[in-house]
Amino acid sequence: MSGNSNLSIIDRLAGGAEVTREEWRVLLTSLSPKEQLLLHERARGVAVSNFGQGIYVRALLEISSYCRNNCFYCGLRCSNSSAQRYRLTKEEILDCCCEADKLGFNTFVLQGGEDPKQDDAWVADVVAAIRTAYTDKAITLSLGERGEEGYRMLKMAGADRYLLRHETRADEHYSQLHPSTMSGERRRNCLRTLKSLGYQTGSGMMIGSPHQTVDNIVDDFIFLEELQPQMIGVGPFVPASNTPFEHYAAGTVEQTILVVSLLRLRFPHALLPATTALSTIHPQGMERAVLAGANVVMPNVSPMNVRSKYSIYNNKMNSGTQSAQQLALLEARLNAIGYHIDFGRGDYNEHK
Protein backbone atom coordinates (compact mmCIF):
# COMPACT_ATOMS: atom_id res chain seq x y z
CA MET A 1 0.00 0.00 0.00
CA SER A 2 1.27 3.45 -0.77
CA GLY A 3 1.69 6.09 1.91
CA ASN A 4 -1.07 8.13 0.36
CA SER A 5 -3.63 5.40 0.75
CA ASN A 6 -2.58 4.92 4.39
CA LEU A 7 -3.29 8.58 5.00
CA SER A 8 -6.66 8.30 3.32
CA ILE A 9 -7.63 5.41 5.63
CA ILE A 10 -6.67 7.57 8.62
CA ASP A 11 -8.76 10.40 7.16
CA ARG A 12 -11.76 8.16 6.72
CA LEU A 13 -11.39 6.76 10.25
CA ALA A 14 -11.15 10.30 11.65
CA GLY A 15 -14.25 11.26 9.67
CA GLY A 16 -16.28 8.54 11.38
CA ALA A 17 -16.35 6.06 8.50
CA GLU A 18 -16.25 2.33 9.14
CA VAL A 19 -12.98 0.73 8.21
CA THR A 20 -12.67 -2.81 6.92
CA ARG A 21 -10.73 -5.66 8.53
CA GLU A 22 -8.03 -5.28 5.93
CA GLU A 23 -7.78 -1.55 6.62
CA TRP A 24 -7.44 -2.18 10.37
CA ARG A 25 -4.64 -4.61 9.55
CA VAL A 26 -2.91 -1.98 7.46
CA LEU A 27 -3.22 0.64 10.19
CA LEU A 28 -1.79 -1.80 12.75
CA THR A 29 1.13 -3.01 10.68
CA SER A 30 2.06 -0.72 7.81
CA LEU A 31 2.26 2.89 8.94
CA SER A 32 5.63 4.57 8.46
CA PRO A 33 7.08 6.39 11.49
CA LYS A 34 5.93 9.66 9.90
CA GLU A 35 2.40 8.34 9.40
CA GLN A 36 2.31 7.14 13.00
CA LEU A 37 3.22 10.63 14.21
CA LEU A 38 0.46 12.04 12.06
CA LEU A 39 -1.99 9.50 13.48
CA HIS A 40 -1.07 10.51 17.04
CA GLU A 41 -1.54 14.17 16.13
CA ARG A 42 -4.97 13.51 14.66
CA ALA A 43 -5.98 11.44 17.68
CA ARG A 44 -4.89 14.05 20.19
CA GLY A 45 -6.67 16.72 18.16
CA VAL A 46 -9.89 14.74 18.59
CA ALA A 47 -9.25 14.27 22.33
CA VAL A 48 -8.55 17.99 22.79
CA SER A 49 -11.64 19.04 20.85
CA ASN A 50 -13.84 16.73 22.98
CA PHE A 51 -12.18 17.09 26.40
CA GLY A 52 -9.89 20.14 26.16
CA GLN A 53 -6.43 19.85 27.71
CA GLY A 54 -7.85 18.42 30.94
CA ILE A 55 -6.91 14.90 31.97
CA TYR A 56 -9.35 13.19 34.32
CA VAL A 57 -7.95 11.59 37.46
CA ARG A 58 -9.48 8.59 39.27
CA ALA A 59 -8.36 7.39 42.70
CA LEU A 60 -7.54 3.69 42.46
CA LEU A 61 -8.07 1.49 45.54
CA GLU A 62 -6.79 -2.05 45.22
CA ILE A 63 -9.06 -3.78 47.70
CA SER A 64 -7.96 -7.43 47.51
CA SER A 65 -5.05 -9.37 46.04
CA TYR A 66 -6.88 -12.69 46.48
CA CYS A 67 -8.27 -14.16 43.27
CA ARG A 68 -10.09 -17.39 42.51
CA ASN A 69 -9.00 -17.27 38.87
CA ASN A 70 -5.84 -18.57 37.31
CA CYS A 71 -5.19 -16.35 34.27
CA PHE A 72 -1.85 -17.39 32.81
CA TYR A 73 -0.51 -13.82 32.60
CA CYS A 74 -1.33 -12.50 36.06
CA GLY A 75 0.83 -12.47 39.19
CA LEU A 76 -2.28 -12.71 41.38
CA ARG A 77 -3.44 -16.01 39.80
CA CYS A 78 -4.60 -18.43 42.48
CA SER A 79 -1.85 -20.97 41.90
CA ASN A 80 0.93 -18.41 42.47
CA SER A 81 1.91 -19.37 46.01
CA SER A 82 4.54 -16.60 46.14
CA ALA A 83 1.95 -13.86 45.66
CA GLN A 84 1.44 -11.73 48.76
CA ARG A 85 -2.22 -11.70 49.66
CA TYR A 86 -4.21 -9.05 51.52
CA ARG A 87 -7.73 -7.77 51.62
CA LEU A 88 -8.77 -4.33 52.85
CA THR A 89 -11.51 -4.00 55.45
CA LYS A 90 -14.53 -1.79 54.95
CA GLU A 91 -12.96 0.72 57.36
CA GLU A 92 -9.68 0.76 55.45
CA ILE A 93 -11.57 1.33 52.19
CA LEU A 94 -13.52 4.22 53.72
CA ASP A 95 -10.24 5.69 55.02
CA CYS A 96 -8.79 5.53 51.48
CA CYS A 97 -11.89 7.28 50.12
CA CYS A 98 -11.50 9.97 52.77
CA GLU A 99 -7.86 10.45 51.75
CA ALA A 100 -8.82 10.54 48.06
CA ASP A 101 -11.54 13.09 48.78
CA LYS A 102 -9.07 15.33 50.64
CA LEU A 103 -6.68 15.10 47.70
CA GLY A 104 -9.45 16.36 45.41
CA PHE A 105 -10.59 13.20 43.61
CA ASN A 106 -14.21 12.89 42.50
CA THR A 107 -14.06 9.30 41.30
CA PHE A 108 -13.13 6.24 43.37
CA VAL A 109 -12.24 3.00 41.61
CA LEU A 110 -12.43 -0.16 43.73
CA GLN A 111 -10.38 -2.79 41.96
CA GLY A 112 -9.52 -6.30 43.06
CA GLY A 113 -9.15 -9.94 42.21
CA GLU A 114 -12.22 -12.19 42.30
CA ASP A 115 -12.04 -12.67 46.07
CA PRO A 116 -14.77 -15.04 47.29
CA LYS A 117 -14.73 -13.28 50.69
CA GLN A 118 -15.71 -10.01 49.03
CA ASP A 119 -19.02 -11.35 47.78
CA ASP A 120 -21.89 -9.31 46.33
CA ALA A 121 -23.47 -8.57 49.72
CA TRP A 122 -20.14 -7.49 51.26
CA VAL A 123 -19.25 -5.21 48.34
CA ALA A 124 -22.78 -3.78 48.23
CA ASP A 125 -22.50 -2.85 51.91
CA VAL A 126 -19.17 -1.07 51.27
CA VAL A 127 -20.51 0.73 48.18
CA ALA A 128 -23.60 1.86 50.12
CA ALA A 129 -21.39 3.26 52.89
CA ILE A 130 -19.25 5.16 50.34
CA ARG A 131 -22.39 6.43 48.59
CA THR A 132 -23.83 7.69 51.90
CA ALA A 133 -20.61 9.50 52.80
CA TYR A 134 -19.98 10.94 49.32
CA THR A 135 -23.25 11.57 47.53
CA ASP A 136 -21.69 13.28 44.51
CA LYS A 137 -18.68 11.10 43.77
CA ALA A 138 -18.56 8.58 40.96
CA ILE A 139 -18.06 5.03 42.25
CA THR A 140 -16.41 2.64 39.83
CA LEU A 141 -16.01 -1.09 40.48
CA SER A 142 -13.49 -3.40 38.86
CA LEU A 143 -14.16 -6.66 40.66
CA GLY A 144 -14.46 -9.25 37.96
CA GLU A 145 -17.24 -11.51 36.77
CA ARG A 146 -20.42 -11.58 38.85
CA GLY A 147 -23.99 -12.67 38.27
CA GLU A 148 -26.63 -10.32 36.92
CA GLU A 149 -28.25 -10.13 40.37
CA GLY A 150 -24.94 -9.17 41.93
CA TYR A 151 -24.31 -6.44 39.37
CA ARG A 152 -27.85 -5.16 39.92
CA MET A 153 -27.40 -5.13 43.70
CA LEU A 154 -24.14 -3.19 43.38
CA LYS A 155 -25.78 -0.67 41.06
CA MET A 156 -28.64 -0.21 43.52
CA ALA A 157 -26.10 0.29 46.30
CA GLY A 158 -24.69 3.25 44.40
CA ALA A 159 -22.08 2.09 41.90
CA ASP A 160 -22.01 4.08 38.64
CA ARG A 161 -19.35 2.41 36.54
CA TYR A 162 -17.76 -1.01 36.05
CA LEU A 163 -14.46 -1.97 34.45
CA LEU A 164 -14.04 -5.49 33.08
CA ARG A 165 -11.62 -6.06 30.26
CA HIS A 166 -12.69 -8.58 27.65
CA GLU A 167 -8.93 -9.40 27.37
CA THR A 168 -9.18 -10.77 23.82
CA ARG A 169 -12.19 -11.35 21.56
CA ALA A 170 -10.77 -14.34 19.71
CA ASP A 171 -11.78 -17.56 21.45
CA GLU A 172 -8.61 -19.39 20.46
CA HIS A 173 -6.44 -16.62 21.86
CA TYR A 174 -8.61 -16.41 24.98
CA SER A 175 -7.94 -20.08 25.62
CA GLN A 176 -4.20 -19.50 25.25
CA LEU A 177 -4.36 -16.88 28.02
CA HIS A 178 -6.77 -18.59 30.41
CA PRO A 179 -7.50 -22.03 31.86
CA SER A 180 -10.48 -23.88 30.38
CA THR A 181 -12.55 -22.99 33.45
CA MET A 182 -12.74 -19.44 32.11
CA SER A 183 -14.72 -18.37 29.07
CA GLY A 184 -14.47 -15.36 26.81
CA GLU A 185 -18.15 -15.68 26.03
CA ARG A 186 -19.09 -15.48 29.71
CA ARG A 187 -16.88 -12.41 30.04
CA ARG A 188 -18.59 -10.74 27.09
CA ASN A 189 -22.01 -11.60 28.50
CA CYS A 190 -21.03 -9.92 31.78
CA LEU A 191 -20.13 -6.81 29.78
CA ARG A 192 -23.48 -6.83 28.00
CA THR A 193 -25.28 -7.25 31.32
CA LEU A 194 -23.35 -4.35 32.84
CA LYS A 195 -24.29 -2.12 29.92
CA SER A 196 -27.94 -3.14 30.06
CA LEU A 197 -28.06 -2.35 33.79
CA GLY A 198 -26.98 1.20 32.99
CA TYR A 199 -23.37 1.07 34.17
CA GLN A 200 -20.87 3.23 32.35
CA THR A 201 -18.91 0.22 31.22
CA GLY A 202 -15.22 -0.18 30.53
CA SER A 203 -13.60 -2.97 28.57
CA GLY A 204 -10.18 -3.44 27.03
CA MET A 205 -7.25 -5.68 26.32
CA MET A 206 -3.53 -6.09 26.72
CA ILE A 207 -1.24 -5.31 23.80
CA GLY A 208 1.57 -7.74 23.04
CA SER A 209 0.19 -10.55 25.18
CA PRO A 210 1.63 -13.99 24.40
CA HIS A 211 0.31 -15.50 21.15
CA GLN A 212 -1.55 -12.29 20.22
CA THR A 213 -1.77 -11.73 16.46
CA VAL A 214 -2.67 -8.61 14.48
CA ASP A 215 -5.95 -10.31 13.60
CA ASN A 216 -6.71 -10.74 17.30
CA ILE A 217 -6.45 -6.96 17.76
CA VAL A 218 -8.71 -6.43 14.73
CA ASP A 219 -11.22 -8.80 16.38
CA ASP A 220 -10.93 -6.69 19.54
CA PHE A 221 -11.72 -3.51 17.57
CA ILE A 222 -14.74 -5.13 15.94
CA PHE A 223 -15.98 -6.38 19.32
CA LEU A 224 -15.56 -2.92 20.84
CA GLU A 225 -17.51 -1.39 17.93
CA GLU A 226 -20.34 -3.74 18.78
CA LEU A 227 -20.18 -3.26 22.58
CA GLN A 228 -19.72 0.53 22.45
CA PRO A 229 -18.15 0.76 25.91
CA GLN A 230 -17.79 4.15 27.58
CA MET A 231 -14.23 3.37 28.67
CA ILE A 232 -11.50 1.31 27.02
CA GLY A 233 -8.34 0.35 28.91
CA VAL A 234 -5.37 -0.82 26.90
CA GLY A 235 -1.93 -1.42 28.28
CA PRO A 236 1.06 -3.51 27.29
CA PHE A 237 1.43 -7.07 28.56
CA VAL A 238 4.16 -7.08 31.21
CA PRO A 239 5.62 -10.40 32.37
CA ALA A 240 4.88 -11.50 35.94
CA SER A 241 7.24 -13.78 37.87
CA ASN A 242 5.99 -17.23 38.86
CA THR A 243 3.43 -17.34 36.05
CA PRO A 244 3.48 -19.46 32.87
CA PHE A 245 4.37 -16.33 30.89
CA GLU A 246 7.18 -15.06 33.11
CA HIS A 247 9.75 -15.35 30.30
CA TYR A 248 7.69 -13.74 27.55
CA ALA A 249 8.61 -10.28 26.28
CA ALA A 250 6.58 -7.25 27.33
CA GLY A 251 4.44 -5.37 24.83
CA THR A 252 5.92 -2.14 23.48
CA VAL A 253 5.05 1.48 24.06
CA GLU A 254 4.82 2.08 20.29
CA GLN A 255 2.32 -0.71 19.66
CA THR A 256 0.26 0.35 22.68
CA ILE A 257 0.00 4.03 21.74
CA LEU A 258 -0.77 3.07 18.14
CA VAL A 259 -3.81 1.21 19.47
CA VAL A 260 -4.69 4.14 21.78
CA SER A 261 -4.74 6.52 18.80
CA LEU A 262 -6.81 4.20 16.62
CA LEU A 263 -9.31 3.80 19.47
CA ARG A 264 -9.45 7.57 19.97
CA LEU A 265 -10.36 8.07 16.31
CA ARG A 266 -12.93 5.26 16.30
CA PHE A 267 -14.39 6.16 19.75
CA PRO A 268 -13.98 9.96 19.92
CA HIS A 269 -15.87 10.34 23.24
CA ALA A 270 -14.56 7.28 25.06
CA LEU A 271 -12.57 7.56 28.26
CA LEU A 272 -9.14 6.15 27.47
CA PRO A 273 -6.66 5.79 30.35
CA ALA A 274 -2.92 6.16 30.15
CA THR A 275 -2.44 2.85 31.94
CA THR A 276 -0.11 1.99 34.80
CA ALA A 277 1.33 -0.83 32.69
CA LEU A 278 2.45 1.70 30.08
CA SER A 279 4.08 3.85 32.76
CA THR A 280 5.76 0.71 34.07
CA ILE A 281 7.47 -0.19 30.80
CA HIS A 282 8.46 3.35 29.82
CA PRO A 283 9.40 6.40 31.93
CA GLN A 284 7.42 8.66 29.57
CA GLY A 285 4.58 6.18 29.07
CA MET A 286 1.98 8.50 30.58
CA GLU A 287 2.95 11.44 28.37
CA ARG A 288 3.20 9.25 25.26
CA ALA A 289 -0.35 7.97 25.84
CA VAL A 290 -1.79 11.46 26.47
CA LEU A 291 -0.11 12.76 23.32
CA ALA A 292 -1.67 9.82 21.46
CA GLY A 293 -5.21 10.65 22.64
CA ALA A 294 -5.57 9.18 26.15
CA ASN A 295 -7.48 11.36 28.64
CA VAL A 296 -7.53 9.60 32.02
CA VAL A 297 -4.89 8.76 34.67
CA MET A 298 -5.64 6.55 37.66
CA PRO A 299 -3.27 7.25 40.56
CA ASN A 300 -3.10 4.72 43.39
CA VAL A 301 -4.56 5.62 46.78
CA SER A 302 -4.26 2.16 48.40
CA PRO A 303 -2.54 2.05 51.82
CA MET A 304 1.23 2.29 51.31
CA ASN A 305 1.91 -1.01 53.09
CA VAL A 306 -0.15 -3.05 50.61
CA ARG A 307 0.79 -1.33 47.34
CA SER A 308 3.67 -3.60 46.43
CA LYS A 309 1.50 -6.65 47.14
CA TYR A 310 -0.93 -5.95 44.30
CA SER A 311 1.61 -7.35 41.92
CA ILE A 312 -0.28 -8.34 38.77
CA TYR A 313 3.02 -7.96 36.85
CA ASN A 314 6.67 -7.23 37.67
CA ASN A 315 7.79 -3.76 38.84
CA LYS A 316 4.26 -2.35 38.68
CA MET A 317 4.53 1.41 39.24
CA ASN A 318 2.85 2.79 42.34
CA SER A 319 4.75 6.03 42.91
CA GLY A 320 5.28 9.21 40.89
CA THR A 321 2.43 9.82 38.46
CA GLN A 322 0.84 6.57 39.67
CA SER A 323 0.50 7.74 43.29
CA ALA A 324 -2.46 9.78 44.52
CA GLN A 325 -0.17 11.46 47.04
CA GLN A 326 1.97 12.91 44.24
CA LEU A 327 -0.60 14.87 42.25
CA ALA A 328 1.69 17.92 42.14
CA LEU A 329 4.19 15.85 40.19
CA LEU A 330 1.47 14.57 37.87
CA GLU A 331 0.26 18.15 37.32
CA ALA A 332 3.81 19.35 36.57
CA ARG A 333 4.39 16.56 34.08
CA LEU A 334 1.06 17.23 32.38
CA ASN A 335 1.80 20.98 32.30
CA ALA A 336 5.10 20.26 30.60
CA ILE A 337 3.21 18.81 27.62
CA GLY A 338 0.45 21.45 27.62
CA TYR A 339 -2.15 19.58 29.70
CA HIS A 340 -3.51 19.78 33.26
CA ILE A 341 -5.45 17.69 35.77
CA ASP A 342 -9.24 17.87 35.50
CA PHE A 343 -10.79 16.94 38.87
CA GLY A 344 -14.28 16.56 37.43
CA ARG A 345 -16.15 13.25 37.67
CA GLY A 346 -15.49 12.75 34.00
CA ASP A 347 -18.71 10.99 33.14
CA TYR A 348 -19.08 9.71 29.61
CA ASN A 349 -20.72 12.47 27.60
CA GLU A 350 -21.29 12.17 23.93
CA HIS A 351 -22.49 15.71 23.50
CA LYS A 352 -19.86 17.64 25.37
- Binds ligand 5AD (CB under 6 A): choice among 289, 312, 327, 330: 312
Task: Answer whether 242's CB lies under 8 Å from 83's CB.
Answer: yes
Strands (E), 277-321: 296-297
Our finding on whether 296 is near ligand 5AD (CB under 6 A) is no
CB of 237 to ligand SF4, least distance (A): 11
Contacts of 92 (CB under 8 A, 6+ apart): 303
Looking at residues 321 to 350 of the shown chain, list those that interact with ligand 5AD (rule: CB under 6 A): none
Our finding on whether 330 is near ligand SF4 (CB under 6 A) is no
Report which of 311, 322, 319, 317 is spatially closest to residue 73, judged by C-alpha positions. 311
Binding segment toward ligand 5AD, per CB under 6 A, in 6-14, 31-39, 234-242, 302-310: 234-242
Binding segment toward ligand 5AD, per CB under 6 A, in 133-141, 236-244, 254-262, 330-338: 236-244
Binding segment toward ligand 5AD, per CB under 6 A, in 8-16, 237-245, 262-270, 340-348: 237-245
CA distance 139 to 314: 28
DSSP-derived secondary structure letter, 273: B
Our finding on whether 92 is near ligand SF4 (CB under 6 A) is no
Looking at residues 135 to 164 of the shown chain, list those that interact with ligand SF4 (rule: CB under 6 A): 144
Our finding on whether 176 is near ligand SF4 (CB under 6 A) is no
Binding segment toward ligand 5AD, per CB under 6 A, in 62-70, 90-98, 231-239, 324-332: 231-239
Output the CA angle 293-298-301, nearest 5 degrees.
165
Looking at residues 105 to 134 of the shown chain, list those that interact with ligand 5AD (rule: CB under 6 A): none
Our finding on whether 313 is near ligand 5AD (CB under 6 A) is yes
- Binds ligand SF4 (CB under 6 A): choice among 36, 47, 83, 113: 113
Of all residues in this chain, which one has the CB nearest to ligand 5AD in the complex?
Answer: 313
Which CA distances in Å does 20 have to 78, 166, 173, 267?
40, 22, 21, 16
Bridge partner residues of 162 (DSSP): 141, 201
CB of 173 to ligand SF4, least distance (A): 15
Contacts of 40 (CB under 8 A, 6+ apart): 257, 261, 291, 292, 293
Strands (E), the chain: 54-57, 59-64, 107-112, 138-142, 161-163, 200-207, 231-236, 296-297, 340-342
SS3 of residue 112 by DSSP: strand
- Partner from ligand SF4, ligand 5AD, none contacting 227, C-beta within 5 to 8 A by type: none
- Enumerate binding residues for ligand 5AD (CB under 6 A): 73-74, 165, 167, 206, 235, 237-238, 240, 277, 312-313
- Enumerate binding residues for ligand SF4 (CB under 6 A): 67, 69, 71, 74, 76-77, 113-114, 144, 312
